Amino acid sequence: MKKLLSLIILVLTCTKTFAIAPWRDYLVTPTDMGITNVKYHTITTADDKALQAWIFNADAKMKKNITLVFAYGDYGNMSQWILPAVDLSKYGYDVVCFDYRGFGGSADFPMDESYLYYHEFALDLEATVRWAKQQYAGQKLGVLAFSTGSLIAVEALQKVSVDFLVADGFIINIERFKKLYQDPASPLKLPAKTTQTLEQMKALKTPLLIFAGSRDKYVAVNEIHDFVSLNRNKRELGIYNGLHAESLWVLRDKWIARLDLFLKNKALK
């Protein structure tokens, strides 16, 4: 119980890290928490990197035949996302959590931690989506992307298709985000071709549900609203009372209900 409480407090308070901040050690594992509907897997990327993954199987009585792949942001590891993964599996979703190279139990990867993210993380997400498609053949599949995970997801989706994308802390104005997110004493670096990724984001045709915190300091709600308005047929916006990329923790059951509605009315109709 102490580990569980520590996990909740840590996730809710770690809202700013200024750049990449990988955790190698897991605060807790599914086994530590007595979770039984989980399997442990290793996923291999196209460039032969081994990624640690935890698979949370859907409740058999609630099973929706929909797979969700988590793409978190620039800090921590997948142990932060155990509780949301369990919630989603109880509602019938099969959930795939994984760690990028250099994070958690995944392969080593030398990083300059003044960078916001690396393009290689998109290779990791791409490999995980391809693995999930094989593992859950015949199911619909979507990516849940948080903060810089939105940049990683858009880049990965240029190589592999999904049925839908759900995001929070969706970064469409990288200069604004960088200015407000970085430590003034240590300016953030961006990988090459980030501008290209932003152009790909604007042209995204995948059905997209974006959550936006009304008190998000780094992503402007009005900019997200304008972005969604460019394609109302495939995009939806859910504004909530919260900070950056914390909708799953703030909304919990309401978040899942909004996801269900989006899939029924727009993404999978």
- β-pair partners for 238: 211
Residue 216: phi, psi to the nearest 5? Answer: -70, 120
- Please say whether the beta carbons of 73 and 147 come within 8 A: yes
Q: Based on the structure, what is the number of domains in the chain?
A: 1
Which pLDDT belongs to residue 2? Answer: 47
Which pLDDT belongs to residue 146? Answer: 97
Chain position carrying tokens 């996990």: 7
Structural domain for 46, as ranges = 2-267
CA distance 269 to 9: 38
- CA distances 243 to 14, 27, 155, Å, are 11, 23, 25
CA distance 142 to 59: 18
Which pLDDT belongs to residue 266? Answer: 87
Helix (H) or strand (E) holding 168: strand 164-168
CA distance 169 to 213: 8
Which pLDDT belongs to residue 19? Answer: 64
Q: List the chain residues with pLDDT less than 70.
A: 1-19
CA distance 3 to 27: 7
Which pLDDT belongs to residue 182? Answer: 85
CA atoms within 13 Å, Cβ hemisphere of 239: 11
Which pLDDT belongs to residue 79? Answer: 95
- Identify the CATH number of the domain in which residue 150 sits: 3.40.50.1820
